[in-house]
Amino acid sequence: MKKILWLCPLMLLMLGLLGCDDKSNDDKTSGGQLSETTWEAEVEKYPFLSNFPTYDGELDNHRYDETSGVLQYIIMDYNCDESFKTDYCAKLTAAGFVDESGYGIYKKESTAYKLTAIVSYSGGTLGLSLSAETIG
């Protein structure tokens, strides 16, 4: 129950960070978070994303952040079917990520990073947070 209570504020924070901006504020200073892009283009800009399975949904609303050595890429995919969540969770599992708690928090350790993928779905919106913490 504690983990659910922890996950709710995280999702509200993600929605707040990504859902409040409009396209008029989409410039280089905001990281182009509302620009159309592809997974391949984002992996080229942010190589740590190559440690995660490809996300096949819309990347029109995304944000990159680096804080205290933790790299984070957040995607909000609006008006999508819940199958996007199911499919991505299956990809994470196939790639060796483990959801130990059953709450959509997948973890894996590589030689360079501690990787975490948080996947949630509510009301037609998929929230996906991909983060990598450098080891050592």
Confidence of residue 136 (pLDDT cuts 50, 70, 90): confident
Q: What is the pLDDT of residues 38-73, one digit of tens each?
A: 999 999 999 999 999 999 988 879 999 999 989 999
Q: What is the pLDDT of residues 77-100, one digit of tens each?
A: 998 999 999 999 999 999 999 998
Strand partners, 98: 107
CB 71 within 8 A of CB 42: no
Question: pTM of the prediction?
Answer: 0.76
Domain ranges of the chain: 2-21+32-134
DSSP per position, 86-132: HHHHHHHHHTT-B-SSSSSEEEEE-SSEEEEEEEEEETTEEEEEEEE
